[in-house]
Amino acid sequence: MFIICTKTGKTVAKFEWKKSPKESIKSIRFSADEKYCLRLIPAINSKDVNSIEIYKDGNFSTPFSIIPAKFGTKSAQNAKKGQPPIYIDGRFDGMDLCCLNPNVEPDKSPFYLFAW
């Protein structure tokens, strides 16, 4: 996949997809103002966790942030004792962005990152 700047025609990022059906266009999300780009990074093999890379302001040379797939779980025993959740490694299947306040310009409002 190539990300190309429409103003200059310059290729700003290239990503290789080894498994096209699983690593489709759904693995990339841009915020409405295109300030942030999310990329779902596939696991190396089926037992590994995957992650989400976040790029900011069109800088694709280094991710702004990387979020590994970790999920909090509480057993019935931990819930009764008030213990904190235990985090386990998992896998993200998808992601999306949602502005915290849709009445505010996207650049001036925080957003939620949904990952499932």
pLDDT at 15: 78
Domain boundaries, the chain: 24-115
Low-confidence residues of the chain: pLDDT under 50: none
Q: What is the pTM of this model?
A: 0.66
pLDDT at 114: 78
pLDDT at 21: 52
pLDDT at 95: 81
pLDDT at 102: 73
Task: Fill in the amino acid letter for 109.
Answer: S
The values of phi and psi at residue 18, to 5°, are -85, -30
Residue 22: CB partners within 8 Å, gap ≥ 6? 42
- DSSP E strands in 57-110: the ranges are 65-68, 70-73, 86-89, 95-99
